[in-house]
Structure 1
Amino acid sequence: MTWIRNPQVSAMLLLGAAVLGLVVANTPLGPGLDELKHWHLPFPVAGLDLSMAHWVTDGLLVVFFFVAAIELRYELTQGELASVRRAIVPSVAAVGGVAAPAIIFLAIVPSELDRGWPIPIATDIAFALGVLALVGRRLPSRVRALLLALAIIDDLIGILVIAVFFTTELAWLPLGGAVLAVVAFALLGRAYRARRGSWPLRIAMVAIAVLTWWLVASSGIHATIAGVALGAVLAPAPAESARVKLEPAVNGIVLPLFAFVAASVTIPQIPIAQLSPVFWAILVALPLGKLIGISIAGFGAQLATRVPKQERLTPAELLAVALLGGIGFTVSLLMNELAFRSAEEFLVEGTLGVLAGSLVAVVLGAACTALLARRYPAADDAAIAQYELDESTRRTDGR
C-alpha cells in the first residue's frame, strides 16, 4: 500500500471523489443520494442519533484528525517547527493566511452570515502538497518545508476554531469523562513499548479511543476534537505505529468518502449573478485572501527575523506557497458544514464556493509552481527517493 501514501495519489483521490460526488448529485441519482445522506438508523447508537452524512463528518473524520494530530506533534517536537527560529516565519505566515481570508469574507457578506468566516481560513495539507509534488519537484526543499509547516499551523488554528466557535452548550459530565479517558489513553500508550504492543493492550486502546469519541460527541464539543486530543497525547512509539497503519485508510477511504459526501450538492438552477454573498465571499477569500495574507506576512517575517539570505524564500517562491495555501478543500468543507448545518441554501452555496475557490487556487498555484520550477535544474528522482526513505527511517527510529 506504499503507493497510496504518495501525496500526488492522495490529491487525485480527493479531487476525483469530490468531482464524482458533485456529478452524481446532479444526475437522476441525486435525490436518492441526498435521502441516503440524511437517513438515520432506526435506533440511536449509544444515545447518538446521527444521519449517515454526520457519521462520516463526526465519526470517520475523527481518524483523519487523529493522524493529523500525530503529524502536528511530530513537527512541533522533532520536525520543521521544533525550534522557535524555524517556527516563527511559518507561524506568522499562517496567521496572516488566516486573518486576510476572514477579513475579506466578513467584508463581503452581511452580518447575519458572518458565522461562515472560518470557511476560507483553512489550507488542505494533502491537496497542497500533492500539487507541489506533481509540478514542483525541482523546487528547493525550503519551499516544501514552509508549505508543510504553514499548513500544519493552519490546521492547529482550525482545530482551535472548531473547538471554540462550533461548540454547542457544554455537558460537563461527559466532558470530564472524556478528559479522564484521554489520560487513560496516554497511560496505555506509555505502556505500549514495554509490552511490545501486545494485542490486549491494543484492544484496550481502541476501546478507550471509541469511548473518548462518544464522550466528546455527547459533551457538545465537535467529535473531531477527540481525534486531536488522542493523537496529541499518544506516546511516540505507538503514535508512529498508528500513523503508519492508518495513513493508507485515511488517504484511500476516509478523506475521499468525506469529499464525496461534502461535495454531493445540487447546483442551484439560478443565474450566477443571483448566487448568495456566501458563494462569492468564499470564492474570493480563499485564493485572494491566502495570497495576500501569506505572502505579505511571510515576507515581513523573513525580514523582521533576519533569515539568512541563502535560507530565505524568494518573492516568487513565497508567491507559489501562498497560492497553494489557498487550496482549502477538506477542512474548508468541514467548516462550511459546521457553519451552515442548519441552513441548507447557504450550505450548498458554501460548498460550491469552497470547490470553486480551491479550484482557482489549484490552477493558479500549479501554474505558478510549474513556471518557477523551470528555473531550477531537473530533479534527481533517485536522490529524492533516498531522502524520503531516510526521512521515514529517521522518524521511525526517533519515535
Structure 2
Amino acid sequence: MSESHNLLRTQQFPAVLLLVAAALGILLANLPTFGPIDAVLGFHIAIPGTGIDLSVEHWISDGLLAIFFFVVAMELQYELTRGELDSFRKALQPAIAAAGGVVVPIVIYLIIAGGSATSSGWPIPTATDIAFALGVLAVFGKGLPSAVRVFLLALAILDDIIGIIFIAVLFAHDLNWLFLVLAVVGVVIFGILSRALPERRGWPVVVVMIIVGVLVWGLVLLSGIHATIAGVALGLAIAQSPSMRVRHVLEPWVNGAILPVFAFAAAFVVIPAVAPTDLSPAFFGIAVALPLGKIIGITLFGWIAVRIGARSKPSALKLTDLLAAGTLGGIGFTVSLLLSNLAFADDRAIRDQAILGVLVGSLIALILSAIIVSSRAAWHRRVTAASS
C-alpha cells in the first residue's frame, strides 16, 4: 500500500491517471454505455432536513473537488509563507507572467466568442493545471535548470489564486448572508482547533475538525457560493504544522481517486455529430485561447518580468525557457473543466462543447510542451556536458 501511495505522490503518474480518466470518460460517453452512466451521474442524493440535494455529478464537482481545493490551499499557504512566493521579489516575475497568462487568453477568447451568447466563457482558458504541467515537465524536462520548475510552480500557484477568485466572485448566486457568516465563523473555529492540535494522540480534535469542516462546506454550498471555496478557506485557515501532515495523508487520495473521478465525470461528453463549422464559438475560443493565449501571455510577460528583474539580478531563465513554461501553462484541464461547468451550467450543449475545447486545447498544449521542453532539456544537457 505504501508503494502505491508513494507512486501517487510522484509528478508523472497522477498526470497519466488524469489523462487516462479523461480519455475513458469521453470514450464511454460516445458508446452505448452513455445512457447507464449518464443516469448514474444524474441521480440525485439528498441530505434530509438540510436543503442539500445534489446529483452524483455535482457531489463530485462540489463535494469531492472541495477536498482537492483544500489541499491546493494548504500548498498556497505554504508557498506564500515559506516557499517560492514568500517575498515580493520572489513573487514579482511569476506574478507578471501569470497576469499575461490570464489577460491574453481572455482577449483571444473574446475576439473569437465574445460577440455571441458564449461570451460568459472567458474565464475558462485562464487556468493552468499544476499536476499536469509538473508531470509533463518531470517526464520531458530532465536537464532543465531548476529555475524553470520554480518559475512554473509559482506561476501555476498564482494562476490557481486567480481561478479561485473567479469561482468565488463570478459564480456566486442568490447570496444567503446568514449561512455565509456562519461559514466564516466555522472557518475561524477550524483554524483555532488546528492550532490546539497536539502532535500525538490528537484524534478527538481531528474528529471535531472534520465535523466543523463538513458543516462549513454545507453552509458555503447553501450560501450561494460554489462549495469548493469552503475547501480553499479551510486550507488557508489551518495551522501550518498540521497542514503538512494533512497534505501528506490526503495527497495520494486526491491524485489517485478524487481528480481521476472528476476528470472522468467532467470529460463524459458526447462529441457532437456536426461539421466543424457548426461547432459553438465557445469550442474554438477555448481550444485556441488556452494553448496560444498561455504561450503568448506567459512568454511575453515573463520576458518583460525577466528584463525588469535583470536590473538588480541576472535571471537564470532564457526566452526559450519561458517559451517552454508558456506551453506547459496551456494545459488547463482540472480548473478549466470546472469553470466550463460553471460558466455554461444552464446550457448542456454549449457546456459539452466548452469541455471539448478544454480537452483539445490542453492536448495541443501537452504535445507542444513535450516537444519544446524536450528540446530545451536536450540543449541544457549538451551545454552541461560540454562545460564539464
Instruction: Tell whether the structures are fold-level matches, with TM greater than 0.5.
Output: yes
Counterpart of 2:272 in structure 1 is 268
Number of matched pairs: 379
1:287 to 281, 288, 291: 291
Aligned partner letter, 1:53: E
Distance 1:143 1:43, change over 3 A: closer
Counterpart of 2:177 in structure 1 is 172
* 1:353-364 paired onto structure 2 within 5 Å: 353-364=357-368
- Does the Cα contact within 8 Å between 1:138 and 1:378 map onto a contact in 2? no
Give me the TM-score of the superposition, normalised by structure 1: 0.92
Gaps of 5+ in 1: 381-399
Offset at residue 169 of structure 1 (A): 1.3
Counterpart of 1:17 in structure 2 is 21
Counterpart of 2:143 in structure 1 is 138
- Does the Cα contact within 8 Å between 1:332 and 1:354 map onto a contact in 2? yes
2:98 to 94, 106, 110: 94
RMSD value, Cα: 1.6
Give me the TM-score of the superposition, normalised by structure 2: 0.95
Counterpart of 1:320 in structure 2 is 324
Offset at residue 41 of structure 1 (A): 2.6
Counterpart of 2:226 in structure 1 is 222
Counterpart of 1:388 in structure 2 is none
1:84-136 Cα distance to aligned partner (Å, 9 max, x none): 11100000100110011011111111242211101000000000000000000
1:377 to 352, 374, 381: 381
Offset at residue 61 of structure 1 (A): 0.2
- Does the Cα contact within 8 Å between 1:8 and 1:134 map onto a contact in 2? yes
Between the aligned residues of both structures, percent identity stands at 51
Report the secondary structure of 1:351's partner residue: helix
Distance 1:175 1:8, change over 3 A: same
Counterpart of 1:2 in structure 2 is 6
Counterpart of 1:158 in structure 2 is 163
Distance 1:379 1:8, change over 3 A: farther
Aligned partner letter, 2:19: L
- Does the Cα contact within 8 Å between 1:138 and 1:379 map onto a contact in 2? no
Query: In 1, Cα distance between the equivalents of 2:45 and 2:205?
Result: 31
Counterpart of 2:131 in structure 1 is 126
Which has the higher mean CA deviation after the structures are superposed, 270-279 or 239-248? Answer: 270-279
Query: In 2, Cα distance between the equivalents of 1:15 and 1:217?
Result: 29
Query: In 1, Cα distance between the equivalents of 2:48 and 2:133?
Result: 38
Query: In 2, Cα distance between the equivalents of 1:45 and 1:4?
Result: 38
Query: In 2, Cα distance between the equivalents of 1:142 and 1:44?
Result: 52
Aligned partner letter, 1:236: Q
- Does the Cα contact within 8 Å between 2:175 and 2:225 map onto a contact in 1? yes
